[in-house]
Amino acid sequence: MATLARHSDFHAHNPLDLLEDIVGIYEWPFERVSDEELMVSCEGRWCDYAMHVTWRADLAAIQLACVLDSPIPEARICAVHELLAIVNGKMWLGHFDLAGSRSTPVFRQAVLLRGAHGASVEQLEDLVDIAISECERFYPAFQYVSWGGKAPAEAVEASLIETVGEA
């Protein structure tokens, strides 16, 4: 991930201001909904991701939710809940859940900044990088279970296979 050298120290104000600079480097479309909300769209390998980033000054916390553009068919909801338990057990940071009436997979992660005098560029870059990496890593598993009819354990195993070389 590219770094903003001019912002290498802590950003003492709203971290969404700094996050706008970071997503601007990648030329990702974004909209500042309010002082507390930023919507970002970025292209992934499997689909486009919609990130919703919220700043809560009262908690000194920033939360990122990254939506996978893949609604789950109602008939596969139970299998996807089993998949969520397996996937979330393999993660160190953040978690997946289902959101909305369309039961769409969402990766969520929060960072507490109390006492840190603001967010650093590195923290915000990591927040975005981790979200995209985890979505890319587990998107195939959601597809295998939702549309391929695979068992959750089998889908996770298949999605975590690392290929070596190129064909």
pTM of the predicted model over 0.75: yes
Inside any domain, residue 125: yes
- Print burial letters for 6-31: b (CB count within 10 Å at least 16), e (below 16): ebeebbeebbbbbbeebbeeeeeebe
**Residue-level pLDDT at 162:** 62
Q: Find the mean pLDDT for residues 109-123.
A: 85
Number of domains in the chain: 1
Q: Find the mean pLDDT for residues 7-24.
A: 75
- The pLDDT tens digits for 16-65 are 999 999 999 999 999 999 999 999 999 889 888 999 999 999 999 999 99
Residues 6+ apart with CB under 8 A from 134: 91, 93, 94, 96, 107
Inside any domain, residue 107: yes
Which pLDDT band, with edges at 50, 70 and 90, does 7 fall under?
Answer: very low
- The pLDDT tens digits for 119-153 are 888 989 999 999 999 999 999 999 999 999 999 99
Inside any domain, residue 19: yes
For residue 12, pLDDT over 90 is answered with no
CB atoms within 10 A of CB 138: 26
Q: Which amino acid is at 93?
A: L
d(CA 121, CA 112) in angstroms, rounded, equals: 15
Query: Which has the higher per-residue pLDDT, 96 or 1?
Result: 96
For residue 9, pLDDT over 60 is answered with no
Inside any domain, residue 98: yes
User: Which run of H or of E encompasses 48?
Assistant: strand 48-56
Inside any domain, residue 160: no
- The pLDDT tens digits for 53-110 are 999 999 999 999 999 988 899 999 999 999 999 999 999 999 999 987 778 999 999 9
Tokens encoding 83: 């998949």
Whichever domain contains 34, its CATH number is 3.30.1460.10
Inside any domain, residue 146: no
d(CA 68, CA 132) in angstroms, rounded, equals: 10
Inside any domain, residue 161: no
Range of the domain at 102: 8-72+93-136
Inside any domain, residue 3: no
**Residue-level pLDDT at 8:** 41
